[in-house]
Amino acid sequence: MNTLQVELGDRRYPIYIGCGLLDQTELYIKHIKAKQVMVVTNEKVAALYLGTVLEQLKAYEVAQVILPDGEQHKSLDVLTQIFDTLLANKFGRSATVIALGGGVIGDMGGFAAACYQRGIPFIQIPTTLLAQVDSSVGGKTGVNHPLGKNMIGAFYQPQCVIADTDVLDSLDDRQLSAGLAEVIKYGLIRDAEFFGWLEDNMDALLARDKQALAFAIERSCINKAEVVAEDETESGVRATLNLGHTFGHAIETGLGYGEYLHGEAVAIGTCQAADLSRRKGWLNDSDVERIIVLFKRAKLPVYPPNALSPEQFIKFMSVDKKNVDGDIRLILLKAIGLATLPVGVDEKLLHTTLASYRS
Amino acid sequence: MNTLQVELGDRRYPIYIGCGLLDQTELYIKHIKAKQVMVVTNEKVAALYLGTVLEQLKAYEVAQVILPDGEQHKSLDVLTQIFDTLLANKFGRSATVIALGGGVIGDMGGFAAACYQRGIPFIQIPTTLLAQVDSSVGGKTGVNHPLGKNMIGAFYQPQCVIADTDVLDSLDDRQLSAGLAEVIKYGLIRDAEFFGWLEDNMDALLARDKQALAFAIERSCINKAEVVAEDETESGVRATLNLGHTFGHAIETGLGYGEYLHGEAVAIGTCQAADLSRRKGWLNDSDVERIIVLFKRAKLPVYPPNALSPEQFIKFMSVDKKNVDGDIRLILLKAIGLATLPVGVDEKLLHTTLASYRS
């Protein structure tokens, strides 16, 4: 097991990465403060891992909420189910929420913990590659609104993150690829060496080589933890983690949550951002080619859905957390391994990318 | 105008108290960061003061949400209306929410600001005595759940609080009295001298003597600001501000939100807490008598509603943020001017108070 620290002063916490962590009882005990524990998970994950987790929690008074699976259920309405269960069980401020699942469960379990009685402790047990390398680390929690993704939420840090690499065995190929989109992102925004490693090891990752996956997860988490420690609430460098996400969120919101996986939408969006960076004169053709090829090799889509017109893209991109007074701002690339801070973009140039970069 | 500071490090902010503040444009400008401003208010307050506030905001892009009036509307459902309007207007992270109203509007506007895009700035303009002396100061925001009051929320500090004492002219007598309940609370928990002043000046306050009201508001805010600065997230002394509130919340939740005003329920609850403190041997008969007499003089109810049985009280009191692992804990009084931290109470003794202290 490797332990990384997210350095956030009195909110500092460890990320445990390794195999067989799900049944290491002492990891749970170390981070649970009182006797009430509430596990939030979804139908799919519950069938696979809830039993193992409950097994470790025999010393506690445990309640559980099993939510429907999928991004379309990451809503205020479904969130209410968590509050209902916490209250029905008379859970207090010292109760701990355990979010057992992918990004949707982590975001919702974390946001419920952030709001319940104005904040109770929570633990992240991410069960997808995407959640292990990205969404479980850094304290971004929340739900979607019909008009915009992740528009309602909180920065709220967990007590710890338990990333058991064994659970990736049960992940389907599409979910594995979706996670790789965020892995590639770290290479693109701040770690050119890692991008090169990914070019060399993409086949091993897709073949689920344990050692390669463990390395990719750890390197991703190191990158994420460094960025978050520097800028917890996204007043600066943390925004670079959003490379491709403004385009991607427009795809997710525009087509209806759940149609594309988050990682798939991010892959497309990153290729669009790369295209726009080339038009800005920052990337050259061969950089863009390398980026597109790597996403393709990761079995990810690289062109936007035809169902979404450039005009619709712009409509959905105009509600984004990086925007200022309604003006669209994007993370772009100066080079492979070097992202910009949010930059305003000329709408004509943006439209050119949206209209030209299509399959 | 007097200016108090709530000393919270980088979240430090001023409370402005005085007459004629609502049309001092510079107070707004000083605390609004970008051009988008959203005013959250209710039907009643909008008719009285929204025009004046909008007049000061001519330089900004302004949106507004007018919510229904009353504690029964402090819910996640109604909160959604604020998010809908923010998104429909494409408001970004630099937008400012202005909460113009009583405690319900302040709590909801503040919570919406806390959650929208994971946190945007907000300004409190409290228009009731209760909001000016208590709920607008200290960053407690949130909504009710059918099973418990203020169960969903955040600690989230405003940019400033603008308490214009002129607005109290439009307050009805019942609302004025409800505010006095929280004023009396400060005397009881930590300011015996102020309690004495209130005994001497209750008639002046009810007659709306400007000087007396201004003194009471300022003294209350000084007390509140000191407690909050010492313990922002209620891990210790801040819980003393909840004197009478566990009983009071049971009344509000048990009878349906909106039946009793919050201050009325707190007045009754504080008398119950005083009765229990006497049974503990901490207060003597004449202390309890002084407390009950002062609430009565403030035209507040002092006995619990007959519709709520002791058993029902205990049921609703068993979901309270001060409870630990399901055990009820209460703020009690060691003397007038000296509150305890949350103490566990023998259920039999609690039942005695609930059964005996009735009209």
* Interchain contact, A145 vs B87, CB within 8 Å: yes
Please answer whether residues A87 and A115 qualify as being in contact, where contact means their C-beta atoms are separated by less than 8 angstroms: no
CB within 8 A of B158, min separation 6: which ones?
B13, B99, B110, B121, B122, B123, B124, B136, B139
Torsional sign, CA B256, A38, A149, A337? positive
Distance, in Å, from the CA atom of A244 to the CA atom of B192, rounded to the nearest integer, reads 60
Tell me what pLDDT residue A325 has: 79
pLDDT digits (tens, 9 = 90+) for B14-68: 999 999 999 999 999 999 999 999 999 999 999 999 999 999 999 999 999 999 9
Distances in whole angstroms, Cα of residue B236 to Cα of each of B124, B143, B229, B241, B342: 25, 23, 12, 11, 9
Residue B286 has pLDDT above 80, yes or no: yes
Task: Check whether residue A181 and residue A164 sit in a common domain.
Answer: no
Looking at the fold, whether B177 and B164 belong to one and the same domain comes out as no
Residues A323 and A229 in one domain: yes
The C-alpha atoms of residue A95 and residue A123 are separated, in whole angstroms, by: 11
- CATH number of the domain residue A113 falls in: 3.40.50.1970
Strand B61-67 to B36-42 pairing: parallel
Counting Cα atoms < 13 Å in the Cβ hemisphere of B229 gives 16
Question: Residue B320: its pLDDT value, please?
Answer: 84
Question: Catalytic pick from A73, A74, A140, A278?
Answer: A140
A136: three-class secondary structure by DSSP: coil
Number of residues that this document lists for chain B: 359
Specify the amino acid at residue A100.
L
Q: How far apart are CA A266 and CA A252, in angstroms?
A: 9
Q: Are residues B44 and B164 in the same domain?
A: yes
- Kindly state the average pLDDT of the residues B92-96: 95
Final residue of a structural domain among A140, A170, A200: A170
Angle at which helix A192-206 crosses helix A173-190, to 10 degrees, equals 170
Per the structure block, which two tokens stand in for B235? 């891990």
Is B242 catalytic? The answer is yes
Nearest to A90 among B93, B233, B318 (CB): B318
> Distance between CA B133 and CA B163 in Å, rounded?
9
Within 8 A by CB and 6+ apart from A208, the residues are A168, A169, A176
Residues of chain A with pLDDT below 70 are: none
User: What is the structure's pLDDT at B59?
Assistant: 96
Q: Where are the alpha helices (DSSP H) in B191-309?
A: 192-206, 210-230, 245-255, 262-279, 285-297
Instruction: Give me the domain span that covers residue A343.
Output: 173-356
Q: Which of the residues A90, A96, A329 would you substitute to probe the B interface, choosing the one with the greatest number of B C-beta atoms within 10 Å?
A: A90
Q: CA B103, B90, A117 angle in degrees (round to 5)? A: 35
Euclidean distance between CA atoms A105 and A102, whole angstroms: 6
**Do B195 and B315 fall within a single domain?**
yes
Both A160 and A186 in one domain: the answer is no
Interface of B with A (CB under 8 A): 34-36, 61, 76, 80, 83-84, 87-88, 90-94, 114-119, 140, 142, 145, 147-148, 150-155, 233-234, 318-326
* Active-site residue, from B71, B182, B232, B264: B182
User: What CA–CA distance (Å, rounded) separates B61 from B27?
Assistant: 17
Helix segments in chain A, DSSP class H: 25-31, 43-45, 51-56, 76-88, 103-115, 129-130, 173-190, 192-206, 210-230, 245-255, 262-279, 285-297, 310-317, 347-356
CATH number of the domain at A237, please: 1.20.1090.10
Contacts of A88 in chain B (CB under 8 A): 147
Active site residue B118: yes
Question: Are B255 and B143 contained in the same domain?
Answer: no
Residue A88 vs residues A33, A108, B146: alpha-carbon distances, Å: 20, 18, 11
Domain closes at, from B146, B170, B194: B170
CA distances from A232 to A157, A227, A337 (A): 10, 8, 21
Count of H-run helices and E-run strands, chain A:
14, 13
Per the listing, tokens 């939030």 go with A40
Cβ–Cβ under 8 Å, residues B298 and B181 = yes
Q: Inter-chain contact A118–B145, Cβ cutoff 8 Å?
A: no
Length of chain A: 359
* B122 within 8 A of B109, measured Cβ to Cβ: yes
CB burial of residue A230 (10 Å; 0-12, 13-18, 19+): exposed
Alpha carbons B246 and A103: distance in angstroms, whole number:
37
Quick one: which of B355, B350, B353 has its CA closest to B328?
B350
Q: Which residue of B has its CA nearest to A34?
A: B325
Task: Enter the tokens of residue A307.
Answer: 């169902």
Residue (of A214, A206, A210, A133) closest to A173 by Cα position: A206
Is A31 one of the annotated active-site residues of the chain? no
pLDDT score, position A321: 86
Contact A313, A354 (CB under 8 A): yes
The predicted pLDDT at position A108 comes to: 98
Triad B107, B109, B113: Cα angle to 5°: 115
pLDDT at B326: 77
pLDDT at B324: 82
Complex-level ipTM: 0.94
Contact call for residues B251 and B268 (beta carbons, < 8 A): yes
The last residue of one of the domains, among B170, B191, B219, is B170
Q: Are A340 and A332 in contact (CB under 8 A)?
A: yes
Contact across the interface for B90 and A326, Cβ inside 8 Å: yes
Q: What is the C-alpha end-to-end distance of chain B, expressed in Å?
A: 43
The single-letter code of the amino acid at B3 is T
CB pairs under 8 A between A and B: 116
Q: Clarify whether B238 is annotated catalytic.
A: yes
Residue A349 CB-half CA count within 13 A: 16
Among chain B residues, the shortest Cα distance to A88 is held by B147
pLDDT over 90 (residue B327):
no
- What is the predicted pLDDT for the residue at A63? 98
Domain identity same for A78 and A180:
no
* Percent of chain B whose pLDDT exceeds 90: 95
Contact B153, A118 (CB under 8 A): yes
Q: SS3 for A33?
A: coil
> Which of A35, A89, A116, A152 is the best residue to mutate to test the B interface, defined by the most B CB atoms within 10 Å of its own CB?
A152
Same domain, B132 and B74: yes
Where on the phi/psi map is residue B150: left (φ > 0), alpha (ψ -120 to 50), or beta? left
CB A298 within 8 A of CB A180: yes
- Neighbouring C-alpha atoms within 13 Å toward the C-beta of A275: 22
- Give the Å distances, CA to CA, from B345 to A148, B330, B353: 47, 7, 11
Average pLDDT, chain B: 96
Return the ∠ at Cα A328 (arms to A144 and B31), rounded to 5°: 80
Query: What burial class does residue B281 get, using C-beta atoms within 10 Å of its C-beta: 0-12 exposed, 13-18 middle, 19+ buried?
Result: exposed
DSSP state of A59: T
**Burial zone of A23 (CB within 10 Å; 0-12 exposed, 13-18 middle, 19+ buried):** middle
Whether residues B233 and A155 touch (CB distance < 8 A) is answered with no
Q: Which residues of B touch A318 (CB under 8 A)?
A: 90
Q: Where are the alpha helices (DSSP H) in chain B?
A: 25-31, 43-45, 51-56, 76-88, 103-115, 129-130, 173-190, 192-206, 210-230, 245-255, 262-279, 285-297, 310-317, 347-356
Q: Among the options B224, B278, B279, B329, which is catalytic?
A: B224
Residues B195 and B342 in one domain: yes
pLDDT value at residue A157:
98
First-to-last C-alpha distance (Å) of chain A? 43
B189 pLDDT exceeds 90? yes
Closest by Cα among A260, A226, A248, A263 to A128: A263
pLDDT of residue A353: 97
Residue B105 has pLDDT above 80, yes or no: yes
Question: Taking a C-beta distance cutoff of 8 angstroms, is the pair A1, A18 a contact?
Answer: yes
Using DSSP's 3-state secondary structure scheme, residue B235 falls into coil
Using the predicted structure, report yes or no on whether residue B319 has a pLDDT greater than 90.
no
Beta strands at A61-67 and A36-42: parallel, antiparallel or unpaired: parallel
Of B83, B152, B233, the CB nearest to A116: B152
Q: Structurally, how many domains does chain A consist of? A: 2
- Spell out the residues 6+ positions from residue B43 whose beta carbon is closer than 8 angstroms to its own: B66, B67, B68, B69
Exactly one of B149, B185, B190, B262 is catalytic; which is it?
A: B262
Q: Tens digit of pLDDT for each residue in B218-249?
A: 999 999 999 999 999 999 999 999 999 999 99
Known catalytic residue at B145: no
Q: Give the tens place of pLDDT for each residue, A206-223.
A: 999 999 999 999 999 999
- Are A281 and A258 part of one and the same domain? yes
| Interchain CB distance below 8 Å, A319 and B90 | yes
Contacts of B83 in chain A (CB under 8 A): 145, 151-152
Residues B125 and B185 in one domain: no
